[in-house]
Amino acid sequence: MNARALRCCAVLPLLLSASGSGAQTARPTTAVPPRIAPGYRTISEGDLRADLTFLTSDPLQGRMSLENGDAVAIEWIASEFKKAGLKPAFGDSYIQPVPIVEYRADAAQSSIVVRRRGGEQKFAWADISGGFKRPVDITAPVVFAGFGVSAPELGYDDYAGIDVKGKIVLVFEHEPEETNPRSVFNGTGNTRHATNRVKAPELWT
């Protein structure tokens, strides 16, 4: 594996963790296997920063699936593989076909109606987000789970001692102590636990 291939592989996990400046050579904290050592030593911070700057730039629109920025990023990675001399894994292509069904909810037609004790209250856009392909009627107990965050690595779990099976779970958006610079949740910044994409799967495990 040559330096270009190593660099391309290194860029992907570093998309959100690049820091520092300059053109320093990579300095491993553990021994580098002799097989890849020659290529590894040619990787510079400047090269990684250039790649990261491109992949995280505004024109790539966050590389969201099915968006133009995602397509550009895919083609860029494939071209880097080709330059590195890697063998295509899918015929003459580096890109694996994956069927994806795109679904966009109609905000004007999306709402939630809460019925309780003979009364009902309707919540529409923008009080709610998300949507279903068809009307859904759910009758279940409601349980409040704080911010809906389960972060054992930070010693925090809103679900500790709560039984949510078969229930509607009500949670706050974002994460705790967002205005506290000393918060274990990255101070006044956000961690991945602030996103609904992380919170929702935690209910399925």
Query: In which band, very low, low, confident or very high, does the pLDDT at 21 lie, cut at 50, 70 and 90?
Result: very low
Query: pLDDT tens for residues 158-191?
Result: 999 999 999 989 899 899 999 999 999 999 988 9
According to the model, what pLDDT value does residue 54 have? 93
Q: How far apart are alpha carbons 157 and 145 in whole angstroms?
A: 9
According to the model, what pLDDT value does residue 196 have? 83
Poorest-pLDDT segment among 23-27, 107-111, 191-195: 23-27
| Segments in the chain forming alpha helices (H) | 3-11, 37-40, 45-55, 68-83, 196-202
According to the model, what pLDDT value does residue 204 have? 63
Q: What is the DSSP letter of 29?
A: S
Residue type, 112: I
Instruction: Please give the structure tokens belonging to residue 96.
Output: 């694996």
Instruction: Please give the structure tokens belonging to residue 202.
Output: 């935690």
Query: pLDDT tens for residues 68-118?
Result: 999 999 999 999 999 888 999 999 999 998 887 777 778 888 888 888 888
Query: pLDDT tens for residues 33-43?
Result: 888 888 888 88
According to the model, what pLDDT value does residue 41 have? 84
Secondary structure of residue 106 in the 3-state scheme: coil
According to the model, what pLDDT value does residue 130 have? 66
According to the model, what pLDDT value does residue 134 have? 78
Q: Which residue has the higher pLDDT, 203 or 28?
A: 203
Query: pLDDT tens for residues 126-153?
Result: 777 666 777 888 889 999 999 999 999 9
Reply yes or no on whether the pLDDT at 5 is more than 70. no
The model's pTM is: 0.51
| Cβ 30 vs Cβ 70: under 8 Å | no
